[in-house]
Each structure stands twice: as C-alpha cells, then as structure tokens.
C-alpha cells in the first residue's frame, strides 16, 4: 500500500457533502444531516453569500440548539422528555438560523498535503473533519474516519 497518499486522494468533493448558507434554519440542517446520515456525513458546512466557508454545524451544535437553556443547569440531564420540550417552543427554536449555533472552522488543509499532516492537524485541533483547499478555493473535506482507515491499513501491512 502506498504510504505517501495525499489529502486529495481521500477528499469528499464539496458537492457531495451537506452544506448550506448561514441563514438556513436549524430544522433545514437537521433534514440535511438525516438524509446524509448513511453516507457517514455528520457535519453541515456553512457558507456566506459569496460561498465562502464561515463555519461548520456539528451534531453537538444541533443538540445544543435543541436543548433548552434551563436544562444546561442540570448535571444529570433534562428532567422532562425531549418531545415535551419541542412541543413547548421547539418550533421557534427550529426556525432559528444556523449561524447562531455553528462552530468556527479551526483549521484548513491543502489538497497536496500528506494524510499524516491532516491526521496531525486533526489531533491538535480535536477535529473530525478538515476543509480542503486547492489554490485558495474550498474543494471538499477530509474526514478522520477515512484517514484512520488509510493509516491503519499501512500499519497492518508492516
């Protein structure tokens, strides 16, 4: 197995990954992730009007968006059922724009960089996904699971 693979060898093109504008709603993001779930995509990339990446909406961001503010004060969890919470004000929460919940992009990687460099960045930044740039343009993403598979296959062949 080749040990010098580059990020571009594992890239998921931006057209194949869930993405939406920052003004999209939390409900729209949930729909996108539910549709993409079987493909292993668990993040929505968030863009501005100029199609510039401005953030990422992670599963934990969505759960934080759904969780009522008072529930954050309980260490043992929410004292009532989720469906009750969503019935009382949940529709309003689902209509809020994803820019209110998204996480910042903490790192980027170049398509020509090695998969080992991508792995290092992910470990340093505690990221499971890296946006991939080529000639200063976002072309896709690389996921930790895909890097893990490639790296461990090399290790197992030693």
Instruction: Quote the pLDDT of residue 10.
Output: 97
Which domains are seen in the chain, by residue range? Answer: 7-156 (3.10.580.10)
Residue 114 sits at φ, ψ, to 5 deg, of -75, 160
Give the pTM.
Answer: 0.83
pLDDT above 90: residue 78: no
Token reading at 54 = 């401005």
Give the confidence band of 123 by pLDDT, cuts at 50, 70, 90: very high
- Which residues neighbour 17 within 8 Å (Cβ) at sequence distance 6 or greater? 36, 41, 45, 140, 141
The tens digit of pLDDT for each residue in 6-63 reads: 999 999 999 999 999 999 999 999 999 999 988 989 999 999 999 999 999 999 999 8
């Amino acid at each position: 197995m080749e040990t010098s693979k580059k990020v571009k060898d594992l890239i998921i093109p931006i057209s194949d990954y869930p993405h939406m504008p920052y003004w999209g709603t939390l409900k729209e993001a949930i729909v996108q992730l539910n549709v993409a779930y079987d493909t292993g995509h668990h993040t929505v990339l968030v863009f501005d009007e100029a199609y510039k990446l401005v953030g990422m909406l992670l599963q934990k961001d969505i759960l934080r968006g759904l969780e009522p503010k008072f529930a954050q004060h309980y260490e043992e969890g929410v004292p009532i059922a989720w469906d009750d919470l969503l019935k009382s004000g949940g529709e309003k929460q689902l209509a809020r724009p994803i820019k209110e919940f998204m996480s910042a992009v903490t790192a980027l990687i170049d398509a020509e960089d090695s998969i080992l460099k991508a792995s290092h960045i992910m470990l340093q930044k505690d990221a499971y996904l890296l946006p991939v740039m080529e000639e200063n343009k976002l072309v896709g993403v690389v996921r930790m699971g895909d890097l893990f598979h490639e790296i461990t296959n090399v290790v197992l062949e030693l």
